[in-house]
Structure 1
Amino acid sequence: MTARLQQQKLAIGTRIAIRNRTFEVAYVDHMTLRYTPCEGGRSQRMPVETFWSLVDDGVVGFCGTAESGDNSLQLWELTGEQCDEMHRRHKYVATAMLSPRKIMAASNLRKTVQVVAEKLGDPNPPSRTTLARWLQIFAQSGGNPKQLLPRHCDKGRRETRFCFEIEAVIQETIRNDFLTVNRDSIEQVACNIIGKISERPWLDGPVPSRSSIYRRAAALDPYIVALKRYGSKFANMRFRAAGASLEATRPMQIVMMDGHRMDVLVVDTETGEILGRPYLVCLLDVASRAIVGWHISLVPFCATTALAAIKDTCSRDPASGPGGVPEVIVPDNGPDLASQALRKLCTWLGVHIEPAKAYSPNDKAHIERFFRTVNMMLIHLLPGTTFSSPSDRGEYKSGELACLTLDDVKEKFEKWLTTVYHVHADSNRAPIMAWRDLQSTYPILHFSAVELDVVARVVHRRAINKGRVLVNHLYYKSDCLATLEARGIGDVTVMVDEMDLGFVYVQHDSDPKVLYRADATRREYTRDLTQYEHGKVLEGIKKMHRDDMKALGEHTYELARWELWKDIQELTNSRSARRLLALKSQKEKTKWKREERKNQQAIITEQALVASAVPSAPAVVNAIISLPYENQTFTL
């Protein structure tokens, strides 16, 4: 295969097949090939030599017309002037070939030029030799008239005009100065190249102009330029098509879920203090474009709020309005949705979770469009709106005009959703009408809110202590728990709803069908309390503790106890000190008696040794009488 044919087949836009997948060539030069999946995805790179080796092995193939080895321009690429020129030359060639004489004879060629020029009124007819060349090209191409077009692009010099040393300076400067995160302009790079060449007087050859350097930079792969200058995230987003859209043929087949921070400030019901901007979690049915479930709260989008929205969706009766159990949910591809309760609920309902691709907005295009619609048609009309950006807000005083509570925002959103969005026809059909038609032909499951509330809870294993269980630093009590504890049941399963910490359900292994409700001991604190808010409170308490320890000093508690212990040890009139003194006195008295007894025994032994003869009986009796009573020893 010739290099010219290879270059034609590897033009930008050529489609290739690799392992039964279709790809499109996004860039190609003499060394590197960059291609992207046609259904959407990240770009891949491959050396050109490797590509042709895979073609020879049958791993890679060409799709469509790109397989043809025709090196001429395609018909749709021709301009009007090129079409006119092609037909003009073909008229000369066809007339010469229809002559009964020899086609390449000089007389035939001169006669053909004269006749056709007069017929067409051609002011610039070709010469005899030019017509002979056209005939030869036409015959070699197999009768392809496009080969008769002028090939000005093949003319001129193709080799570089600079010596090897200067080429090395150009390539090195572009690589080290232009393709960096410093993002030097190409004008600065051109100045650097000229400056480096001027510092090396031994280089022989012409100095490249700025235009030459600009053309070198323009010939680089734009993906590589963006990758080196702005990073992989920017490059992947910039040079990637949106991809194929999701298609659904029945209701609740594919449901998109996402969270959005609403552009409006809400205030406290009692104090009127600004609480912040609420978060909206929505589930949208792709087939009908209807909103099948939603949840608004001050908790950021996470597994807890997503679980609340899914419970709202699955508890709705499909016959009364959009809702029911979805088949597939497409959420964000993030760790925030990794929840035990969410996985448990989806497993129990038979719902599949298919996260969207990272940095791929096309996977959730419908829900993103809905958030834009709700902002434009509702949120930006409410008092206290923050609009989408500071430039859009202008001099609007959002904080001063905020007057809506969280319940007010929920009421306005529900009313707008029912009376405005579900009856609009921007998507060719009103969502509520499309839902009714689709729902009547396909059955959709739904469950009661009570059942879903029990199932969609986080499970903890705890031990009963005095009729209470401790979960997340909160105690929950029940008389039933005291009864279970009296029966010897210690460990139980505690099911917690992270959107309402006011009560929990308790289940023991001996009778799992029975659920016991246990209320929180701190009723006022846990009323409408969420796990997110409770976590923030605990973080605040820990921060206060750290601040207190920092203000008092490190190891203040331990040092205080140590000083107290030393003070206690120094007390001489305390009970412990008196007992210690008595023990020391008794020990010294016992030691003194033992030493006195030892000294008396030594005296007796010395007296016995001094006597050389056996003493008389009166002397012995007198010696014994002289001893203390406890040291007298009688031998019979």
Structure 2
Amino acid sequence: MNDPFPNEVDEVLWDEACRRAEAIRGFLIRQSGKVIAGDMALLAAELDVSRATAFRLIKLFRAGGTVMSLVERKPGRPDGRRMLDNRREEIIRISIKRCYLNKNRPGVSQLVRDIQTNCVSAGLKPPHRRTIEARLEDIDLQKRAKRRGEAEVVKRTTAVPGALAASRPLQIVQVDHTKADIFVVDEETRLPIGRPWLTLAMYVCSRMVTGFYLTMEAPSRLSTSLCLLHSVFDKSPWLRESARSSNRGRLPVCLRHCMSITAATLGVVLSRGGVRMPA
């Protein structure tokens, strides 16, 4: 199973991993020789974990060297991991193909009995009913319905022919909302506030954005109205302000966010230098 990317990690878990990485990095810099029990106890108290957990986190950080190595993983079995051996998986696969995916439409209970009987005959421990049901859920719903002759399900899962098309600009304008892939923090405490919502208006003919609205509030009539207002109003003042901001040497918000995540992951400290004139 692949590890998630930094921007896919929950905000709270990412902030805690950054805090742990900073504390452990400082601890390792201060420790030039053998680790003293008292220093380890102080680190454990700072991380709010037991000393055993502190040792484990140091080992993970030394092995990985990044913030991602300290992100807390969800306990239990990882999603998508299968625990059955290949022989039982093969019996389940063949039984589903031969006995379940056909026009006779046998029930799940009949399938479970067939699989368990085949496993016992092969000298294997029969799988649980929930395991077999999980394998059925992995099959594409439309494919399963076609093989079993379930016309109503096939009809519901088939895409309707046609497309939303426009022959001229501004004939059709679509408005949609999405959470921006950035994290807003408090100016003083630097604690995360949340991710803002981005509302975009674009016309279908060329997919050009005609206006947008950025807010911390959830999508509503107000955000849609302000987005449409930005679409139809003159943008000259807004463009002049954007040009002044870019002339101050500011990076786009999304680029600053990507740089901060990359720096935190690799343990790089970002420091902003002053504005200088070329020689």
TM-score by length of 2: 0.46
Bigger relative contact order, structure 1 or 2 (CA pairs below 8 A, ≥6 apart): 2
Higher strand share: 1
